[in-house]
Amino acid sequence: MNSKTRTFVFMSKKLLDTIFNPKDLRKLHPTQLPELAKELREFIIDIVATKEGHLGASLGVVELTIALHYLFDTPNDQLVWDVGHQAYGHKILTERKAVFDTNRQLNGISGFPKRSENEYDAFGVGHSSTSISAILGMAIASKLKGETEKQHIAVIGDASIASGMAFEALNHAGVSDANMLVILNDNAIGIDPAVGALKEYLTKVKTDKRLAAQNNIIKALNFNYSGPIDGHNLDQILSELTRLKKVKGPKFLHIITTKGKGLQQAEENQVQYHAPGKFDRKTGEIIPKVVKIEPIKYQDVFGKTLVELATNNDKIVGITPAMLTGSSLKFMLEKYPERTFDVGIAEQHAVTLAAGMATQGIIPFCAIYSTFLQRAYDQIIHDVALQNLPVIFCLDRAGLVGEDGATHHGVFDLAYLRSIPNLIICAPRNEVELRNIMYTAQMGLKNPIAIRYPRGKGVLIDWQQPFTSTKIGEGTCLKKGNNIAILSIGSVAKNVSSALEQLGKNTTVSHYDMRFVKPLDEKLLHTILKSYSKIITIEDGTINGGFGSAILEFASQNTYKNTIKTMGVPDEFIHHGTVEELHSFVKIDVNSILKEIKKGA
């Protein structure tokens, strides 16, 4: 492209207004790109300030995003963003600027790159450390097809690259001749500050050029390493990327960035401004929510309860894979730092670490988001359940989690855990029940247990009640009726209770909180199946293989002929929206429950 075509865009309106996709971006002169970076940051800040979303990560890679789409022939050249928190600028420059205000909203664009949404999203992401494997696969495919000039770029953060899967991919790529570039976006933080020996190594490399040149772990893996360079200096980035385009084989560029760059508060408080909620776009100050007395978040109930238990039981430890703040294990860290372990983005390691501790009489509470526990399925089976080790899994964000969408919903846990021998599965309906099962679990269970609870606020103001033990495998009757029995599991019980309140003094419907998916309360189930012709099961999880399936299996095995209706998440991936909208979409909301009751009345 000649200089004349790159110098015509000198007009009063904003540069960003002239860009629909990277073809327009490439018409700009390099000297215009810093101004575009300023406008792109302002655009992201303006939207996220009112619509909410992930802020800090995208602000930190504005210059990199512009440089990549400016120099590379995307979407023909393939670009994969690890996790995707940092991809807002990418989305805005790739045909989604006009709809960016619908980000993470029902029927709007996804908060993460998504192949079905746009051709510039080369690979769908949401979970960490997948980008290097994916881009290596694409690079090998291009070689097999004879597309030797095609470029393949993965952008990965310093927290994500420490994960085992990323190293598996680096190990493979280093002995290939794949034409690929891995860009390490090093800002020393994921959601919480990065941890571990690799983080310490990367910190030293930033200041010790001799270490970067000689004792280099990436070079040792046969990558052509360059950097570290300033990730906010467009001239440096453009120059180095231009050079690397001509280098064949696996390449690695180390850039240093600041998460939250361009918004002072986001730079200074990177944890809070990862996803800050609504804030003043001019001052950056987070807009305080209306002060009112309301329940606290389930994650905080877990975190504060764990501290209470740990105060009286010195065998208790807390383990989390990079979710100290998200799981509220931060409270344990503050009180008992020597008994709190953030292992980084390493779910497999977290589970087997807990198993190892359990062999020595330690009581590990392993706090992992439901969707991320999927990444450690073999370890749950092979290292924990097979050896019947009493690890306590606390599954935060279980069920439909809302705006983060399909990659983050915790809807498969009941189904994927229910088939594992020795494993107890409990879903408390409220905060008091959560506290009591945590109390019970640390008193000396002989089996591993998974305790699942949802994202967001609970239902009780006065939740900090004295502990009482929970009998494993025992359900309870919350309301007695004479015609229909509703069996709920977990926090979705509140939808059932709200529906029954709307029925007033109606005496036809019973409501049972089963509490446990495994073991089931068989004595209670026999009573229910002998007493009611119509049974409704409801769960905030996939119907296939889940709680409802367990009830159907029990009824079949015992030759009951009752009519059983299962309500839950259907056999499809559910995308993003508020939790309330998604409950309505999958028909586990109050109105859907009322309709089902009226059908059977």
In a domain, 470, yes or no: no
Q: Are residues 52 and 114 in the same domain?
A: yes
What is the DSSP code string of 542-589? ESTTSHHHHHHHHHHHTT---EEEEEEE-SS----S-HHHHHHHHT-S
**From 96, 97, 104, 259, the catalytic residue:** 259
**Candidate ranges 201-215, 219-233, 382-396; pick with highest mean pLDDT:** 382-396
Over pLDDT 70: what percentage of the chain? 97
Residue predicted with more confidence, 123 or 215: 123
In a domain, 286, yes or no: no
**Domains identified in the chain, total number:** 3
- pLDDT for the residue 209: 73
CB neighbourhood size of 102 (10 A): 15
Contacts 24+ apart (CB under 8 A), 87-91: 87/58, 87/112, 87/113, 88/44, 88/48, 88/53, 88/54, 88/58, 89/40, 89/44, 89/58, 89/61, 89/62, 89/65, 90/65, 90/120, 91/118
Say how far apart CA 451 and CA 427 lie, in whole Å: 6
In a domain, 464, yes or no: no
Q: Are residues 431 and 500 in the same domain?
A: no
- CA nearest to 129, candidates 156, 91, 102: 156
Per-residue tokens: 555: 């009824």
CATH number of the domain within which 554 lies: 3.40.50.920
The last residue of a domain, from among 217, 239, 274: 274
H-type helices in 329-369, by residue range? 330-335, 347-359
The last residue of a domain, from among 232, 258, 274: 274
| Mean pLDDT (whole number) for 405-431 | 98
Residue predicted with more confidence, 260 or 435: 435
In a domain, 460, yes or no: no
Pairing of strands 476-479, 484-488: unpaired
Q: Are residues 562 and 431 in the same domain?
A: no
Say how far apart CA 132 and CA 173 lie, in whole Å: 8
- pLDDT averaged over every residue in the chain: 94
- Which run of H or E residues covers position 40? helix 33-51
In a domain, 291, yes or no: no
Say how far apart CA 433 and CA 436 lie, in whole Å: 5
Domain that holds residue 383: 298-454
Say how far apart CA 547 and CA 543 lie, in whole Å: 7
Work out the angle at residue 360's Cα, subtended by the Cα atoms of residues 395 and 392, and round it to the nearest 5 degrees.
Answer: 15
- The contacts of residue 383 (CB under 8 Å, 6+ apart) are 351, 352, 355, 389
Q: Are residues 221 and 191 in the same domain?
A: yes
Q: Please check the confidence at residue 497 and state whether its pLDDT lies above 60.
A: yes
Residue carrying structure tokens 């084989």: 249
**From 52, 240, 347, 596, the catalytic residue:** 347
pLDDT tens-place string over residues 81-113: 999 999 999 999 999 999 999 999 999 999 999
Q: Are residues 401 and 495 in the same domain?
A: no
Q: Are residues 81 and 169 in the same domain?
A: yes
- The contacts of residue 9 (CB under 8 Å, 6+ apart) are 15, 18, 27, 28, 29, 32
Q: Please check the confidence at residue 5 and state whether its pLDDT lies above 80.
A: no
CATH number of the domain within which 417 lies: 3.40.50.970
Say how far apart CA 557 and CA 177 lie, in whole Å: 57
End-to-end CA distance of the chain: 72
Specify burial of residue 95 (Cβ count, 10 A radius: 0-12, 13-18, 19+). Answer: middle
Q: How confident is the model at residue 601 (pLDDT cuts 50, 70, 90)?
A: low
Q: Please check the confidence at residue 2 and state whether its pLDDT lies above 50.
A: no
Report the side by side order of strands in the sheet with 449-454: 340-342, 316-320, 363-369, 392-398, 449-454, 424-426, 516-518
In a domain, 282, yes or no: no
In a domain, 280, yes or no: no
Q: Are residues 436 and 487 in the same domain?
A: no
Say how far apart CA 308 and CA 331 lie, in whole Å: 10
Say how far apart CA 474 and CA 485 lie, in whole Å: 17
pTM greater than 0.85 (yes/no): yes
- CA nearest to 257, candidates 235, 239, 231: 231
Q: Please check the confidence at residue 7 and state whether its pLDDT lies above 50.
A: no
Is 63 one of the catalytic residues? no
- pLDDT for the residue 271: 84
Q: Are residues 263 and 303 in the same domain?
A: no
Q: Are residues 412 and 491 in the same domain?
A: no
What residues are paired with 143 via a beta bridge? none
Is 259 one of the catalytic residues? yes
Q: Are residues 147 and 238 in the same domain?
A: yes
Type of residue found at 2: N
In a domain, 425, yes or no: yes
Q: How confident is the model at residue 12 (pLDDT cuts 50, 70, 90)?
A: low
Q: Are residues 207 and 308 in the same domain?
A: no
Query: Reduced to 3 states, what is the DSSP secondary structure of residue 271?
Result: coil
**From 251, 375, 418, 452, the catalytic residue:** 375
Q: Are residues 427 and 482 in the same domain?
A: no
- CA nearest to 587, candidates 486, 495, 475: 495
- pLDDT for the residue 190: 65
CB distance 516 to 474 below 8 Å: yes
**In Å, how far are 68, 100, 137, 141, 176 from 251, measured between CA atoms?**
15, 33, 15, 17, 11
